[in-house]
Amino acid sequence: MLLLFVFVIRTFYISSISMIPTLRIGDIFLSDQLAYRLYAPRDGEIAVFAPPVRSASNEFIKRVVGAPGDTIRISDGIVYRNGIGLDEPYENQPASYDLEIRNYGIYVDGKALNPAQADVPPRGMWQAPNRIPRGYYFMLGDNRNYSDDSHVWGFARRTAFSGQAFMILWPHLKVL
C-alpha cells in the first residue's frame, strides 16, 4: 500500500476557486500518476499538469476540454468542441468571454493571446489553422470567470501532464 501511495497516487490540496463547484477550497483529492503514462488525456477529465507559463503554483488542476485536432469556440457562454455545444453540468457559470482557435492562435474577445506570454506554438507546429496542434490540450476551470486557464495562458503540453484526479478524499469522500 505504501508503494502505491509513493509511486502511483498523490494527494493535492485545493487552494483556489478555479474548479468550483467540482473542487472547493480545502478539498484534498487523489491523483493517479500512472494514468497519462498509459493513455492520453480525455475530454472531461480533471488533470494535474505543470503550468504552461511561469507561475507561483507548482501544478495546475483543470478540466480537459479539447484534445489535439479539435476545434474550440466559446460563444455566449457555450463551449463548442468540433461545432457541437458541450453539456457541462460541472460548470459553475458560463464564460463571460468569447474565444476561438483560428488563424494559428487563440483569440479571446477578438484579441490574439501573445505567444510571448502564453503557450501558443509557432505556425509550423500546427496541422491546421483552427485546430488544437498535435501534442497540446485546451484546459478550462469549472469556475470559468475565475480560472487562470487556457483562455489566459494558452495550451497545455501533453508532456506536462502528471496525473488524473479521480477522488476527493476530504472533506467528503467522492469519486470524480
Q: Is 44 helix (H, G, I), strand (E, B) or coil?
A: coil
Q: What is the largest CA-CA distance in the chain?
A: 51
Q: What one-character DSSP code corresponds to residue 171?
A: S
Residue type at position 28: I
Cα–Cα distance, 66 to 70 (Å, whole number)? 6
How far is CA 79 from its chain centroid?
13
Cα–Cα distance, 116 to 120 (Å, whole number)? 8
Residues identified as active-site = 18, 62
